[in-house]
Amino acid sequence: MKTEGKSKGTWIHRFAIRLFTLVLAVLIFWVLGFFVDDIRSVRGPSYDTIEKKYQDKDLVANRMALEKQIADLTRQIENQTEQQRVVGDSSRNLQQTINQLIELRKLGMQKSIAFSETEQANFTSSLNLFLDNQQKYQELSRTISDMIDRKQGLVREKEQAEQEIKKQGQPARDEFDTLSRKHRLKLAFLQLAILLPILAVAAVVIIKKRSSIYFPLFLAFGAATLIKVGLVVHEYFPSKYFKYILIGGLLIVVARLLIYFIRTIAFPKTQWLVKQYREAYERFLCPVCEYPIRIGPRRFLFWTRRTVNKIVVPGDGGVPEENYTCPSCGCNLFEECPSCHQVRHAMLPNCSHCGAEKEINA
């Protein structure tokens, strides 16, 4: 990494970079979540519509009529039961009265007092009323039991109708399942159609800019997108497929890590560093911060890694070489050679004039 060594920054800067990288990743994850949620809110198939297509309208109407009749009957039964209760209460009262009258009569007979005419009349009317009540009570009982019979019949009919409707609902449920699966696939496809290109861009940027100072930015972008893609894939595709995707991803990552370590052993870090420094010097860019090395005829020009080969350098070769420090990061780029006292590359191993070697620290 070019940012190693001098341009590492204070710990608070490094901490801030890590923190904001994380925050950025979370924000990007959030934004991607908005896209995905918007797609997810696309309405799927409606079960009611499909059900209506398959259902026999008469059957449904019949069930509704039956339901209404059952409800009516239930209400009527409740009314009748209430009436029966009232009649029963009144019967009990009458019974008490009659019992009392009988007691009185017994007492009268013991004391040889005759039962008066009014008393006799009262007794008779109470008794008649009581008998009437009993009859009414029996009638109500019959009506209620008839009603209960009718209600049970209706309930059976309704159950049959419901079974019929349920049977008819099977193709509707099948169609709904098929349509729902299709809808889910469509949603997954749309979400991935947005996420995968973003992921591809992120991957390309991360690979291309892995030595850029803005790498954390791209890393946050890539990581957030990758996690979102993983979640979407996991949500929509059965683990049957997901495990292949997962193992594929892991294979790639592990292979890359392996390659990285093999290369680190094959080419020690210093060698890598020297290679990076050399490439930067070739492009007249500071090896640490990529700021252009503006010396000699290039003093008044500006270029980047991409434009370095396109700019026209004015022919002014007569300018002597001089010591040079990167004005941007303060790294020493050209310095005096201790052995020949000419100007040499400070970050390359050998002096271009006398070949004196210098240790390059990783």
Point out which residues bind Zn ion (CB under 5 A): 286, 288-289, 291, 326, 328-329, 331, 337, 340, 351, 353-354, 356
Nearest CA among 51, 312, 290 for reference residue 176: 51
> Smaller CB distance to Zn ion: residue 161 or 351?
351
Of 3 and 143, the one with the shorter C-beta distance to Zn ion is 3
* Separation of alpha carbons 55 and 63, rounded Å: 12
Q: What are residue 335's phi and psi, to 5 degrees?
A: -140, 175
Query: What is the rounded distance in angstroms from the CA atom of residue 69 to the CA atom of residue 106?
Result: 54
Q: How far is the CB of 227 from Zn ion (least distance, A)?
A: 34
Q: Identify which of residues 231 and 354 has a Cβ nearer to Zn ion in the complex.
A: 354
13 Cα distance to chain centroid: 35
C-alpha 356/C-alpha 343 separation (Å) is 12
Least spacing, CB of residue 5 vs Zn ion, in Å: 11
Instruction: Give the nearest distance from C-beta 292 to Zn ion in angstroms.
Output: 9
Rank residues 176 and 334 by Cβ distance to Zn ion and give the closer one.
334
For residue 202, the minimal CB distance to Zn ion (Å) is 27
Write down the least CB distance from residue 330 to Zn ion, Å: 7
Give least dist CB 307 to Zn ion, A.
18
Q: 93 or 339, CB closer to Zn ion? A: 339
**With respect to Zn ion, which residue has the nearer C-beta, 126 or 325?**
325
Q: At residue 106, what are phi and psi to the nearest 5 degrees?
A: -60, -45
